[in-house]
Structure 1
Amino acid sequence: HAPSSVFSARNSVRTSASGAMHPVFRTGSNRLPIRRFDNLKMSAVSVAGLKAVPHGGKLVDLLVKDEATKDKLIKSADFKIQLNDRQLCDTELLINGGLSPLTGFMDEATYKNVVDNMRLPGSNLLFGLPIVFDTDRDDMVPGKKVLLQQGDRSIALFTIESRFKPDKVHECKQCYGVTTLEHPGVLMVSTERGTYYVGGSLQGLNLPEREFLCKTPAEVRSTLKPGVDVVAFQCRNPVHRAHYELFTRALDAPEVGKDGIVLVHPTCGPTQADDIPGDVRYKTYVVLAEETKNPRTFWEYLPYSMHMAGPREAIQHMMIRKNFGCTHFIIGRDMAGSKSSITGEDFYGAYDAQDFAKKHGPELQVTPVPSLNLVYTQEKGYVTAEQAKADGLKE
């Protein structure tokens, strides 16, 4: 299997760079006033009644519940460090089981196998993109226990078991299909990440604070109706009318059962530089959710850091939504795609991600629901482009 073969992309290397990516979570002393969820507890990890089985068969839960145990773990740390926005997203999804079956950041062997083969060693489970912890610190070495913090809030104890220097050019070529800095994911790996990656296990202490709540997979699962299809809709931008038509019409798709429901599950973590910041996007989602109340539509929010990796990121999204209880995944034109910051050309073909998802969907046990090519017409509103052409409607 050669993952890079799915990309219809350019492979030239350039040295131009675009701006930094939008931060969403506020770390350090300059955070805005935020809601606290100190008493929030993970609900029981259960898959009873839901069609979707977590990736690997079991939903991971690394959050320590006992306060005395938390105190002991905090005191056992050799030193503490501040998490950046991307590290915070990855740490949270490891703690709460969103990245099941992982129980920590990848060691070198796991990293290499995922980069080259999209497989976890041992289990051979599909995994779209590597989950790594980057650093430039000399003291981040095997054997050290590191307290990971968001401001003054302790998020997790990280026991380092591996330290290695990755081949970032190879990583980008395999994961993004290109090595040019015109790609936002390549730019992130090359200019934001440290020189070394460290792997090891995590013990969760607290979920992050933010201005909006991102429920855990267990909590989302507890709200879903048993025995029905759950269709996930992913987006990283404000939902516009065509998006709304897509996820409401998905309930009538031939792949979806008659009692199916939709989970609108936008990512609210860092993304590419010219996207609208996550905290602003969230406010638009709240308004739209209120205006379009529907008993078959649920809204939740995902603390995920976008890579704009096209086909391979589609697999990552499907896997994560499976852990949240979803059986189906709406996948649109140029899913998780991006354009060159210089030429504006697309890095991936319009249907690369759809084709890749269809190929791997059966193994993941997540059914891709290809999005309709909708257009707005004066006569009938939103219809498919095919219907508009056949009926001679004006777009």
Structure 2
Amino acid sequence: MKFAVALSLVAGAAAFTTSAPRAFTGVKSVGFSQAAVESRINTGLEMAKQVPHGGELVDLMVKDDEAKEAAIAKCTAEVQLSPRQLCDVELIMNGGFSPLTGFMDEATYQSVVENMELPDGLIFGLPVVFDTDDEDLQPGMTVLLKDGDRPIATVEFTDKYTPNKPLECLKCYGTSEIEHPGSFMVATEREDKDVVAFQCRNPVHRAHYELFTRALDDERVGEGGVVLVHPTCGPTQADDIPGDVRYKTYVVLKEETENPRTFWEYLPYSMHMAGPREAIQHMMIRKNFGCTHFIVGRDMAGSKSSVTGEDFYGAYEAQDIANEMSERLGVTPVPSLNLVYTEEKGYVTDEEAKAEGLEIMKLSGTKFRQMLRGGDDIPEWFAFKSVVKVLRDNQ
């Protein structure tokens, strides 16, 4: 089974379009994603200031066992989902990919690849298709999608086509080089408040925490705004920390830094490392979770060539496209502060540190991992003790 990301496919793989997936409440798909489903469906909280992308939040969850069994009975085949496919299915059925109600047909796929928009003109960052090399799957079949022994959703395949992968790579990832790794609602009842989303795919360290808490002071964010820390817990790059371990770090940090203006949820999303296009995708998804603002980091969702070591995208390309598409998308980008730690004043902006001649303390990611493996003391200005413990316990 192959995932829909262009450069993960074998040559000639076919993409299937399906009717709306039917998802089963109470069915645990993967350990870290169930919280996201439950937060979207079961909290009973009202939408905050933001409106869903496309105007209406999609909810395809089956609500009772009788309906679940009836849906399963109609299936004539079973398909095991890959971790990446599982993420897409959950985001379709819980509304994270609103207004999608199923995987994209060929016309929709082409429109998103070529124009970064759905056929009706609504902006959409990346194509969402169900890719497979299984020749037995044909239009008209109703299929049960499973994660191991667990039934996740049923779909009716309605269309079969061969996606234009070279064009998709070039348009969506900005490169045709095959080495490229990708070539809720907010838990608050405070209505009419801005909600700032913070996206990450790594454990949250001190600098990250300072960044997203200080974002509430940005002039673009209204008084009384809150932050939704919304990490992606699906597959990322091969050398990243596994999703289940990242999830554990978020749980302990949520407890350690309990803050009435900071909320934590977990996104069953698989990273594409598509740079600018992925920034749009992240903003759109967070819009469907009720967020009005989105922190756009420097070199967001970026990737380097393993051959030359050069970046595929410019450092500010993601921020530039976020600003360009902000009004159309209905989400306000908030640039991330370039924070550094200083001996004299703690965390300040890099500009302030240089202007005042402050001593900047540095610790690279490579050095941090070496210290982690070696059992060395990690400076508390760099990482939270609770996070370090989780990482060491799961090495």
TM exceeding 0.5: yes
- 2:93 is aligned to 95
Paired with 1:272 and 1:363, the residues of 2 have a C-alpha distance of 30
1:174 to 1:364, Cα distance in 2 relative to 1, 3 A: same
Counterpart of 1:158 (choices 155, 160, 164) is 155
Q: How does 1:276-355 map to 2 (within 5 A)?
A: 276-355=241-320
Is the CA contact 2:76–2:143 (under 8 Å) kept in the aligned structure 1? yes
Residue 237 of structure 1: how far off its partner (Å): 0.4
Paired with 1:230 and 1:117, the residues of 2 have a C-alpha distance of 28
Counterpart of 2:130 (choices 121, 124, 133) is 133
Is the CA contact 1:106–1:132 (under 8 Å) kept in the aligned structure 2? yes
Residue 223 of structure 1: how far off its partner (Å): 3.3
- TM-score, normalised via structure 1 length: 0.80
Paired with 1:287 and 1:147, the residues of 2 have a C-alpha distance of 36
- 2:83 is aligned to 85
Paired with 1:335 and 1:283, the residues of 2 have a C-alpha distance of 23
Residue 46 of structure 1: how far off its partner (Å): 7.5
Residue 393 of structure 1: how far off its partner (Å): 1.4
Residue 313 of structure 1: how far off its partner (Å): 0.2
Is the CA contact 2:45–2:189 (under 8 Å) kept in the aligned structure 1? no
Paired with 1:35 and 1:263, the residues of 2 have a C-alpha distance of 16
* DSSP-derived class of the 1:184 partner: coil
Is the CA contact 1:338–1:346 (under 8 Å) kept in the aligned structure 2? yes
- 1:255 is aligned to 220
Paired with 1:358 and 1:149, the residues of 2 have a C-alpha distance of 39
Paired with 2:343 and 2:34, the residues of 1 have a C-alpha distance of 48
* DSSP-derived class of the 1:183 partner: coil
* DSSP-derived class of the 2:341 partner: strand
* DSSP-derived class of the 1:372 partner: coil
Residue 346 of structure 1: how far off its partner (Å): 1.1
Which deviates more from structure 2 when the two are superposed, residues 384-393 or residues 88-97?
384-393
The yes-or-no answer on 1:119 pairing with 2:117 is yes
Q: How does 1:165-244 map to 2 (within 5 A)?
A: 165-186=162-183, 217=184, 220-221=185-186, 223-244=188-209
* Unaligned segments of structure 2, at least 5 residues: 1-28, 361-395
Letter in 2 for 1:161: T
Counterpart of 1:108 (choices 77, 82, 106) is 106
Paired with 1:223 and 1:321, the residues of 2 have a C-alpha distance of 15
Paired with 2:189 and 2:109, the residues of 1 have a C-alpha distance of 33
Residue 32 of structure 1: how far off its partner (Å): 9.8
The yes-or-no answer on 1:359 pairing with 2:324 is yes
Q: What root-mean-square deviation, in Å, do the aligned CA atoms of Structure 1 and Structure 2 show?
A: 2.1
1:33 to 1:163, Cα distance in 2 relative to 1, 3 A: closer
1:255 to 1:154, Cα distance in 2 relative to 1, 3 A: same
1:383 to 1:363, Cα distance in 2 relative to 1, 3 A: same
- 1:373 is aligned to 338
Equivalenced residues, count: 330
* DSSP-derived class of the 1:382 partner: strand
1:180 to 1:36, Cα distance in 2 relative to 1, 3 A: closer
Which deviates more from structure 2 when the two are superposed, residues 343-352 or residues 171-180?
343-352
Residue 222 of structure 1: how far off its partner (Å): 5.4
Residue 33 of structure 1: how far off its partner (Å): 8.9
Residue 78 of structure 1: how far off its partner (Å): 1.2
* DSSP-derived class of the 1:162 partner: strand
Paired with 1:155 and 1:132, the residues of 2 have a C-alpha distance of 17
Is the CA contact 1:52–1:322 (under 8 Å) kept in the aligned structure 2? yes
1:377 to 1:34, Cα distance in 2 relative to 1, 3 A: closer
- Deviation string 1:89-127 (CA, Å, 9 cap, x unpaired) is 000000100000000000111001000101111x21000
Letter in 1 for 2:340: V
- TM-score, normalised via structure 2 length: 0.80
Residue 55 of structure 1: how far off its partner (Å): 0.3
* DSSP-derived class of the 2:224 partner: coil
* DSSP-derived class of the 2:143 partner: strand
Paired with 1:34 and 1:322, the residues of 2 have a C-alpha distance of 21
Paired with 1:63 and 1:32, the residues of 2 have a C-alpha distance of 16
* DSSP-derived class of the 1:368 partner: strand
* DSSP-derived class of the 1:185 partner: coil
- 1:66 is aligned to 64
The share of aligned pairs that are identical, in percent, is 67
* DSSP-derived class of the 2:348 partner: strand
* DSSP-derived class of the 2:268 partner: coil
Paired with 2:130 and 2:244, the residues of 1 have a C-alpha distance of 24
Paired with 1:59 and 1:272, the residues of 2 have a C-alpha distance of 30
Residue 247 of structure 1: how far off its partner (Å): 0.3
* DSSP-derived class of the 2:41 partner: coil
Letter in 1 for 2:255: E
* DSSP-derived class of the 2:351 partner: helix
* DSSP-derived class of the 2:182 partner: helix
Letter in 1 for 2:329: L
Paired with 2:44 and 2:64, the residues of 1 have a C-alpha distance of 17
- Deviation string 1:37-77 (CA, Å, 9 cap, x unpaired) is 9x9692488755x2100000000001111321211110111
